Every structure is written in C-alpha cells, then in structure tokens.
Amino acid sequence: MAKKAPNPIDKHVGSRVRMRRMMLSMSQEKLGDALGLTFQQVQKYEKGTNRIGASRLQAIANILQVPVSFFFEGAPHGPGGHTTGMSEAPSPAYVSDFLATSDGLSLTKSFMRIKSSKLRRRIVDLVEQIAGDE
C-alpha cells in the first residue's frame, strides 16, 4: 500500500511548531517531555506525518508561548489545504520554510540584534546585489 502524503495544512502547522520551538532554542526532546511524548512523536508532528489534535495543539501553544492561531498563519486555505482564490494570498511558503531552518533562524536572530536600521538596510541591499535582480 502506498504511503499517504501529509495534508498541506498539517504540514504547515508542523513547520510552524518547529519554527517556534527553534526560536526558543528548545529541543524536540524537551518539548516531548513537556507533552509526555517521545521526541519521535514531536518529529512526526513537525513533519506533518501525524496530525496534531486540538487539545494537544493547545498544550503546544501554551508551552511555546504563542496563541493557537500562530500555527495557522500563512496556511493554505480551502479543502485539502489548497487556496481558493477567495481570500488574500497567504505569505509565500518559502519564507516560513526558510525561517524554520537553523540557518534561517540564526540569520534572523542575528539580523534583529543589529541596532542600526541604516546598517540593516545596507545589509539587505548587499544581499539583494549578491543575489541579483529577479
């Protein structure tokens, strides 16, 4: 029997759990301990392999100190997680995917510690020049 692909919304919610956990420098093991689960179960939630139930999502939100709605920000809409075209476009998935990586998180945390807004702007300009125009 073929493996069923994770639902896009479950995958999105899981990636937001991972991103927030990493923002707090919390291990999967520590989150699992707080929930009474193994780190493997947390891993499955984060990949979207296993769906997170409502009460468990509320517990995760409390532990990660965010409202439940945080996990759905930028999520695909409509049946099966597809956009309907009826609402405003969600934030591009590649942004949240990048922020969920250790490089993305490290870069963002370091960038936010730069006090000078002029310096931050110059760094953005530099990166845009290196990347080239689209």
Higher pLDDT, 134 or 33: 33
Q: Which CATH superfamily is domain 8-100 in?
A: lambda repressor-like DNA-binding domains (1.10.260.40)
Domain ranges of the chain: 8-100
Express each pLDDT in 69-98 by its tens digit: 989 888 777 555 444 444 445 455 667 677
Nearest to 75 by CA among 88, 91, 54: 91
- Provide the pLDDT for residue 39: 95
With the C-alpha atoms ordered 43, 49, 54, 55, is the resulting torsion angle positive or negative? negative
- Rounded CA-CA distance 83/99 in Å is 22
pTM summary value: 0.66
Give the pLDDT confidence score for residue 85 in this predicted structure: 45
